[in-house]
Structure 1
């Protein structure tokens, strides 16, 4: 930002052309009588052929309105369970932020929040505290994500 280069200028022009071409596209939010939050979390374990990193993603529904994110993991995980657990921690942190935002705006949820995960190992880890001692290094990551 302080010392832009010619390449930065080209990238800016490309971004502005993309925005101009997609001005009619967007996300539409609907007013719902149902005030519930649910989420789906998933990872493609070692999906990148170049660096073996995974891409994590989540879908969060507030009523019928969708919020989504997809991001490449910053580290390489040795197992799909660890990767899925990190993604679940990230999804939980986002849901926690959304719930606090709704609470600040005096919006009460009509049902408990549910998070869906397609990895049975992660489901056991998240629901049974006995397994947490075996995954303390991952638990620390989970705690850091939730507390942010």
Structure 2
């Protein structure tokens, strides 16, 4: 995506063929199962399927050109990774121009292998960046809980705590310190599941710098250099070079 352009409703005149727009977006949705780099932009394009504009179609054409030029990219799943769950959680506060809702994103690794990722607009408005980050942490913690249950069903021995990385200090303090809760009653109760899982020692909540936050690629448009750097961190490589 072009970093300086924010897609929203009525950004330009209506696109003349909305059916083809919906069909292409549907195909791109399937492609996000193997291409994490396009997850955020596809999430953006799906919001305008009812009334796509010329600008929305232009943005989708840019995605198609990117896919054509990066067909050699693929996810690498190393066989030597240790069984350690690592999750990177991030949010972009009030980024939607139409609803002012925030975007949540997470990328979850099993060892060095990316196994789950998501980019989604939050259901409710957040009145601060800390609240938006806290909601994103709650979503990520639910995914960690699900993966631990899945490993148990597969009879995979897993005794280490999962690692959840967040680059927002306020959100981490709210999750770890009950004193902060008196000042955060406007946060929905279901968001406090992160603190419960911390107390149950399901995971460790760790800080990370914004420059190293891998989930940035799932919550906001990036310049080409940091975008390609984050793709490498996700495990996306040139699969032709392996041969």
The TM-score with structure 1 as length reference comes to: 0.76
Deviations 1:10-44 (A, max 9, x none): 84477459869989876453334400001111111
> How far is 1:126 from its partner?
0.9
Contact 1:36 1:110 in 2 (8 A): no
Structure 1 CA distance for aligned equivalents of residues 98 and 126 of structure 2 = 15
Deviations 1:32-76 (A, max 9, x none): 440000111111111122322211101111101112111111222
Give the equivalent residue in structure 2 for 1:95: 144
Structure 2 CA distance for aligned equivalents of residues 56 and 17 of structure 1 = 20
Matches within 5 A, 1:1-148: 11-12=22-23, 15=26, 27-66=75-114, 67-109=116-158, 111-138=160-187, 140-143=189-192
Q: Secondary structure at the match of 2:184?
A: helix
Structure 1 CA distance for aligned equivalents of residues 172 and 112 of structure 2 = 25
The TM-score with structure 2 as length reference comes to: 0.49
Aligned residues: 142
Q: Secondary structure at the match of 1:133?
A: helix
Contact 2:93 2:103 in 1 (8 A): yes
> How far is 1:77 from its partner?
1.0
Which has the higher mean CA deviation after the structures are superposed, 106-115 or 118-127? 106-115
Structure 2 CA distance for aligned equivalents of residues 40 and 78 of structure 1 = 22
> How far is 1:138 from its partner?
2.1
Contact 1:36 1:62 in 2 (8 A): yes
Structure 1 spans left out of the alignment, 5+ residues: 1-6
Structure 2 spans left out of the alignment, 5+ residues: 1-17, 32-63, 198-243
